[in-house]
Structure 1
Amino acid sequence: MTQRRVEFLYLTQQDVIDCGVTNMAMVMNKIEKLFSLRDKGETILPDKVALRWGDADSEAQTGRINAMPGYVGGDVDVAGIKWIASKPMNPRHYNMPRASALTILNNAETGFPLSVMDGTVISAMRTGAATGVAAKYLARKDSKVLCLIGAGTQNHTQMMAVKTALPGINEIHVYDISMDRVKAFIEKAREEVPDAHIEACVSAPEALKGADVIVSATTAVSPIVKAEWVEDGVFISNVGNYEYEFDVVRKAQKIVTDDWDGVIHRGIQTIAKMVLAGELSKERFHGNIGEIINGKKAARENDNEIIFYNAIGMGIEDIIVAKEIYDRALTLRKGQKLTLWEEPYWV
């Protein structure tokens, strides 16, 4: 008789961590594969759905919940969705993280759920990994100085990923409008990258001085970085919002994204604002990172190029990492099996 009971594996955040999600090299390997599959047309990425309530004009305070579905093909062959809340006032009001997420995986053949797991750490790690993969192809191999604009949670995984991609990074500059955040960030960062000198900077131009790599992850609604502060040969990753004045992008020899259409559709980062204002045409766009990974477009071609990278973040990134965690959980016998039904109510 056919087994008709449907079970799925529930994984707590600790289960997900125990299955290796904080191994940045592993996550970067999965994200690089995802970018390659995306370029080959082997993924499906519907539009992100953003749920907002309260004052929609002050999202930096009220936050949102995003639904990010997708399918990853190839030998991954799994569907899923990330349901992630971002409530910026949580740390201040509740002493709780800004972001919380659940990731659901579904069997691609039957549609039945395979797993429900904490997606919070996966989300942070894959976002950092996207910059790390780009840095592998677009930053100078001998890069030594990393500049971080923003001292929030996200820049921890950005820092981990850049250091993984560029082991020669030995100096890290950190700038934020809150020096208290900078101090707290550096205390934790010294545990994460103990072989690098990390210093607090009181201004953005001080932080950018001598930088080989610049990563910004803030909620800024007006530019922080000016073109005259950006030196030749730098790799820039715009992770957060509107963090660079238009002239920074104009100064770049290459403009690269994870997904051009997604960046423009979201409309809040520097490149998108330039396009929407008629200040940047797609002819200036070099390519998506997947095209570079697959050898269709050139990576860095000389040490003097300024390369501007903009990642929007895609739910399929969470799905490919979550599938690896699910497979490891089965091997390691982590998590708890829960029953959806013993017998279907309707067939």
Structure 2
Amino acid sequence: MTARTPSPITYLSGADVAELCADLPIVDLVRDTLLAFRRKEAGIAPETALRWTTPTGASARSLVLPAWAGGAYGCKIINASLGNHRYGLPRAGGLIILNDPETAHPVCVMEGARISALRTAGVSLAAVRAVRDPATLTTVAFLGCGRQAETHRELLVDHCPALEEIVLFDLDRSRARSTATAWRAALPDVAVTVAPDARTAVERARVTFAVTTTTDPYVELDWVPEGGTFVNVSLDDAAESLLLGCDHLFVDDWDLIVDDTHRLLGTLARAGRVGAPGEPAPAAGRAVDADLPTLVSGSYTRPVTDRDRVVVNPFGMGVHDIAVAAAVYAKAADRGLVLPR
């Protein structure tokens, strides 16, 4: 028997993580992880959640998402309060823990908000890239102007060279205006406009990213133009008419949907109105057309035409956080930031 001492635990701060993520190919990392998940070379374990109401009446929760990707094992702990905007704070923040694959001892704790935001935007862009040619996208809309909107914009401009206009809407009109001002400065060749309402923003765009904190569905099918793609990143923007009536509905993982008791798509699934990918459509509803691993692998055989309305509804798989965190940890080791064993 070979004696081993416990590995020291490296801590990577938010600033460390941001610097190490700077040149990572996030969209490709996400796509590769989806393909690995399809090959069963990556996976997730059941999530657990602690939910409560804050003293000021906001909904709060702490999620623990265990996962593995290749030789990396760990979990994300992500906490959020819907009342954080009142304090000028991001809705969510958390930690990612990576474990030694041999001893299972923790080897790294890193701030997780940047990775969580990046992998979320990476999933959105990987899905859009699978159904639309990014080189043809000229107008994109954002519902919500918080951290997720900013992170999506960062990745968007690198993958959509023909982008001409970004349309913003936020219930907080001052935040929408300040975001528009900042984005105009960052993107002088792109027109950034603020829509008077959510419907106008969706109707004007070929792709809409919903990145809000709403728990009340409101985006109807007839808001989305022919050939439009609606990426429902946040909780419950897509209304029943859109989820049931769109031409193609994609999700990241069916089991996550069925187990979710808070969002509309999970409610429809448990009510027997939305069926699993590959199953016949329920009489009073529809089936999910495919999961994202199938979509990005090219195995989805039904054509997505220029007139079809597409909805992408990712619930969030911790496997992407672990894959990105493993890449960050590897870069940290290369730079001498990891404590020696």
* TM-score, scaled to structure 2: 0.88
> Is residue 280 of structure 1 aligned with residue 277 of structure 2?
no
Match of 1:248 among 238, 242, 250: 242
Unaligned runs of 5+ in 1: 340-347
User: For 1:134, what is the secondary structure of its paired residue?
Assistant: helix
Per-residue Cα deviation, 1:106-145 (whole angstroms, up to 9, x for no partner): 1212212221111111111111111010011012441211
Equivalent residues in 2 for 1:8-23, closer than 5 Å: 8-19=9-20, 21-23=21-23
Partner of 2:27: 28
Partner of 2:40: 41
Match of 1:330 among 307, 330, 333: 333
Q: Distance in 2 between matches of 1:297 and 1:226?
A: 25
Q: Name the % identity.
A: 24
Q: Distance in 2 between matches of 1:34 and 1:231?
A: 31
Q: Distance in 2 between matches of 1:32 and 1:191?
A: 31
Partner of 1:233: 227
- CA gap of 1:300–1:117, structure 2 versus 1, over 3 A, is farther
* TM-score, scaled to structure 1: 0.87
Match of 1:115 among 102, 105, 108: 108
User: For 1:51, what is the secondary structure of its paired residue?
Assistant: strand
Q: Distance in 2 between matches of 1:33 and 1:224?
A: 33
User: For 1:50, what is the secondary structure of its paired residue?
Assistant: strand
User: For 1:148, what is the secondary structure of its paired residue?
Assistant: strand
In the TM superposition, residue 214 of structure 1 has moved relative to its aligned partner by 1.1
Q: Distance in 1 between matches of 2:264 and 2:37?
A: 24
The amino acid of 1:110's aligned partner reads T
- CA gap of 1:270–1:211, structure 2 versus 1, over 3 A, is farther
- CA gap of 1:127–1:251, structure 2 versus 1, over 3 A, is same
In the TM superposition, residue 30 of structure 1 has moved relative to its aligned partner by 1.1
> Is residue 124 of structure 1 aligned with residue 117 of structure 2?
yes
User: For 1:124, what is the secondary structure of its paired residue?
Assistant: helix
Match of 1:162 among 156, 175, 185: 156
Partner of 2:283: none
> Would the aligned equivalents of 2:126 and 2:296 in 1 still touch at CA under 8 Å?
no
Partner of 1:71: 68
Q: Distance in 2 between matches of 1:8 and 1:300?
A: 49
User: For 1:177, what is the secondary structure of its paired residue?
Assistant: coil
> Would the aligned equivalents of 1:102 and 1:118 in 2 still touch at CA under 8 Å?
yes
- CA gap of 1:190–1:261, structure 2 versus 1, over 3 A, is farther
Per-residue Cα deviation, 1:88-123 (whole angstroms, up to 9, x for no partner): 323423x43332211110121221222111111111
> Is residue 315 of structure 1 aligned with residue 318 of structure 2?
yes
Per-residue Cα deviation, 1:171-221 (whole angstroms, up to 9, x for no partner): 111111110121232233335544321111111121123311011122222
- CA gap of 1:309–1:254, structure 2 versus 1, over 3 A, is same
Q: Distance in 2 between matches of 1:193 and 1:108?
A: 43
> Would the aligned equivalents of 2:90 and 2:146 in 1 still touch at CA under 8 Å?
no
Partner of 1:345: none
- CA gap of 1:131–1:193, structure 2 versus 1, over 3 A, is farther
TM-align CA RMSD: 2.3
Match of 2:309 among 306, 311, 315: 306
Unaligned runs of 5+ in 2: 281-286
Partner of 2:204: 210
Partner of 1:50: 49
Moved more, 187-196 or 33-42: 187-196
User: For 1:7, what is the secondary structure of its paired residue?
Assistant: coil
Per-residue Cα deviation, 1:251-279 (whole angstroms, up to 9, x for no partner): 32111111122123224344323323443
Moved more, 123-132 or 259-268: 259-268
Q: Distance in 1 between matches of 2:189 and 2:307?
A: 27
The amino acid of 1:40's aligned partner reads R
Partner of 1:133: 126
Q: Distance in 1 between matches of 2:227 and 2:186?
A: 26
> Would the aligned equivalents of 2:7 and 2:107 in 1 still touch at CA under 8 Å?
no
